[in-house]
Amino acid sequence: MPGDFADVHAFASDPVVCLHQAWGPNTVEDTHEFLDDAVAVVDGRYQLAILSGGVVVGSAAVWTTSTVHGTGELGFTLHRDFWGRGYGTLVAQELVRLGFHRLGLERVAATCRPENIGSARVLEKSGFRREGHLRDAVVIRGIRQDSLVFGQRAADYPGPLSP
Ligand SMILES: CC(C)(COP(=O)(O)OP(=O)(O)OC[C@H]1O[C@@H](n2cnc3c(N)ncnc32)[C@H](O)[C@@H]1OP(=O)(O)O)[C@@H](O)C(=O)NCCC(=O)NCCS
């Protein structure tokens, strides 16, 4: 929501939070643009705000990448002060549930830089398998870098597949 600007900008403008991400650190304009998009209703997407004590401390999303193939992708970001409390794992697990139960996806993917140990661990704890190591796959602030690909199939999802 527009009223969440200060909370969102606090983590989205933090260079440490953005270190392994292709976006950021956000300018004020970047965060306004992000919030405009985040509140839009987009078919095949859940965009979530992560709240702690009424404060927005992160954002997360799962979205459809192909309706033909039944595939989607997810991503998550937390304010640095809230790392190491298990929030990332809880959020990723909820995104997976939404992807399979609500969006009806057959497969969900996620990517992270090889150096992003925390993100890779969160994905593994959320049922993802590491499926590949793509060389020179992304450009982050002008530097070409590798990317890990993780995937999870609805067929392997342990929970019931009804909402
Ligand atoms: C990645 C991120 C979401 C992790 O969230 P988190 O809430 O700290 O993760 P959790 O507390 O659920 O930790 C899950 C596991 O990862 C480990 N972990 C988390 N961050 C770690 C780090 N920087 N280095 C090593 N291990 C780490 C935890 O120890 C825990 O492992 P364990 O259960 O085996 O003890 C958070 O660091 C973040 O927002 N980073 C910046 C944005 C980002 O990189 N997003 C992902 C883009 S691909």
pTM metric for this prediction: 0.96
List the domains of the chain with CATH numbers: 4-156 (3.40.630.30)
112 lines ligand 1 (CB under 6 A): yes
pLDDT at 3: 78
74 lines ligand 1 (CB under 6 A): no
150 lines ligand 1 (CB under 6 A): no
pLDDT at 18: 97
Per-residue pLDDT of the chain (163 residues; tens, 9 = 90+): 667 999 999 999 999 999 999 999 999 999 999 999 999 999 999 999 999 999 999 999 999 999 999 999 999 999 999 999 999 999 999 999 999 999 999 999 999 999 999 999 999 999 999 999 999 999 999 999 999 999 999 999 986 655 5
pLDDT at 160: 63
Task: Note whether 102 and 69 are within 8 A (CB).
Answer: no
pLDDT at 69: 98
CA of 117 to the centre of ligand 1 (A): 7
89 lines ligand 1 (CB under 6 A): yes
According to the 3-state scheme, what is the secondary structure of the chain? CHHHHHHHHHHHCCHHHHCCCCCCCCCHHHHHHHHHHHCCCCCCEEEEEEEECCEEEEEEEEEEEECCCCEEEEEEEECHHHCCCCHHHHHHHHHHHHHHHHCCCCEEEEEECCCCHHHHHHHHHCCCEEEEEEEEEEEECCEEEEEEEEEEEHHHCCCCCCC
Q: Which residue's CA is minimally distant from atom 31 of ligand 1?
A: 121
Burial class, 128, CB count within 10 angstroms (exposed 0-12 / middle 13-18 / buried 19+): buried
Q: Which residue's CA is minimally distant from atom 20 of ligand 1?
A: 118
